[in-house]
Amino acid sequence: MPRLYNLVNNDELKRHLLESADARITLSFYKYHHISDPNSFRDQLYLRWNKRSVYGRIYIAPEGINGQISIPEAQFEAFKADMYAIPFLDGVRLNIAIDDDGKSFYKLKIKVRHKIVADGLDDTSFDVTKRGKHLSAREYNALTDNPDTIVVDMRNHYESEVGYFDGAIRPQVDTFREALPLVEEMLADKKEAPVIMYCTGGIRCEKASAYYLHKGFKNVFMVDGGIIEYAHQCQKEGLPNKFIGLNFVFDERLGERVSSDIVAKCHQCGQPCDTHINCANDACHLLFIQCEACSALYEHCCSAKCRDFKRLPEEERQKMKPVTEFNGSRFTKGRYKAYREGEGLVMQ
């Protein structure tokens, strides 16, 4: 029986990727489709794509597939032909990364889940196929010239903090599940207005648009292909780009540049910065924004407490870890603004 998962040490896989000179392409895709046996489909897909050196993270559920992957440039056409040979994936959009060095993923992980995006919705309560209208970049720009149009960011706070569409409502939520009822409440008296939703690649808005139509919103739109496709279309067609800053992505890059604007601030000193990192203290691992100066001062950690803990001998760290609280013990993601507490900085 062929092995259907990777057993190589993560550090070794990362080292191999960084040392490799092979050009790679990062892309994302999704498709809502009824999959009767997700586990079997998962194993078949692993066998097909592992041999093509596909790296990345793919979720499979009874409702479909959602993937963020990278592929050797030399294998791209063969991979695409292989993907399109799967009937329900034939012709599916491949969202090619905007700003990519090919070092986005270092191994292939395919997981079976209840849903391809955690939304907390009862899909039997409404028709998920009745979705809003897709807008091209040109159509988006035209509709947002109308002052009555409402634009809503369906992403999480740490995504919209570093980049967003000009004038968009940006709910300060940790999860998509939280955003759905909050946005409905915020726009309760705007059900006749044009409402445009957007996310990274479009998958969250597919479900959200159907949900809001079900809830009585009359004019629901979504950016076709999300921020990634919008940026490509603006560049290709020479259109004005209404997205400001960095597009947060869920891979090793943590962001891709769409415009030169830096709209976020370092969570530690408040200087303009949009570089996300994970705290170098593995007992914390908080995702937060840190500038170069603070990175040097705190040694890639989110606080002096984490920096000092990381300096301790391994044996002492292991003893202290179960009884020590770090920023990552309390928060899933860092938020601006930080405030000083004793010798360190604590994220709000």
Span of 243-247, 271-275, 340-344 with lowest mean pLDDT = 340-344
pLDDT at 100: 73
**For residue 346, pLDDT beyond 60:** no
199 is catalytic: yes
pLDDT tens digits along 68-80: 999 999 999 999 9
Mean pLDDT value across residues 135-147: 98
CATH number of 10-112: 3.30.70.100
Mean pLDDT score across all residues of the chain: 90
The string of DSSP letters for 47-82 reads HHHHTTT-EEEEEEETTEEEEEEEEEGGGHHHHHHH
Give CA–CA dist 331/348, Å, rounded: 8
Ranges of each domain in the chain: 10-112, 123-242, 276-346
Percent of the chain scoring above 70 in pLDDT: 90
Do domains 10-112 and 123-242 share one topology? The answer is no
Of the residues 199, 291, 294, 302, which is catalytic? 199
pLDDT tens digits along 101-133: 777 788 899 999 999 998 998 888 888 888 999
Element (H, E) at 154: none
Q: Bigger pLDDT: 174 or 8?
A: 174
pLDDT at 10: 61
pLDDT tens digits along 284-325: 999 999 999 999 999 999 999 999 999 999 999 999 999 999
pLDDT at 17: 60
Give CA–CA dist 309/336, Å, rounded: 23
pLDDT tens digits along 173-205: 999 999 999 999 999 999 999 999 999 999 999
Q: Which of the following CATH numbers is that of domain 123-242: 3.30.9.10, 3.40.250.10, 3.30.360.10, 3.40.50.10440?
A: 3.40.250.10
List alpha helices for 198-257, DSSP H. Answer: 203-214, 226-237
pLDDT at 288: 95
